[in-house]
Amino acid sequence: MSCTEAEKMIVPYINNELSPMELEDFMAHLETCESCREELEIHYMIDVGLKRLDDDDAVYDIVGDLRRKIEDSMRTLRRYFLLQVTRYAVGTLTAMALIVTVLLQLRLWVQSGFLFF
Ligand SMILES: [Zn+2]
């Protein structure tokens, strides 16, 4: 992903509007790109900072909040891909079970003389 693409995702990211695939690409880019991390920090500070202006909490920790948001995103991603892997594994096992069932059935048919090879 290029920096231009990553920059376009900053606002959707802050608003939690990225799909898991986009989120993965975005996170991967952030890990390697200092300038986009800074860009995200600035956007986040402005966006969240403005929303929090009315709060009593004057020493609100925006950078820490962003760090937590990013950690949260990583956790969400890990959960998402774990789920994908689980789904894939279950799907594969189901398919294998089906094949075994069919083979056993075929063997039964062959043994009973229902099918001739
Ligand atoms: Zn970048």
Summarize pLDDT for 56-102 with one digit per residue, the tens: 665 668 788 899 999 999 999 999 888 889 998 999 999 999 999 99
pLDDT of residue 60: 67
Residue 28, both tokens: 């991967």
Q: How far is the CA of 101 from the centre of ligand 1 (A)?
A: 52
H or E stretch at 17: none
User: Which pLDDT belongs to residue 113?
Assistant: 77
* 115 pLDDT higher than 60: yes
For residue 113, report the distance from its CA to the centre of ligand 1, in Å.
68
CA-CA-CA-CA dihedral for 40, 41, 46, 48, to nearest 10: 90
- pLDDT of residue 112 exceeding 90, the answer is no
Across 15-27, average pLDDT: 93
Across the range 14-23, mean pLDDT stands at 93
pLDDT for res 15: 92
CA of 100 to the centre of ligand 1 (A): 50
Residue 18 confidence (pLDDT): 95
Name the residue type at position 80: Y
| pLDDT of the residue at 59 | 60
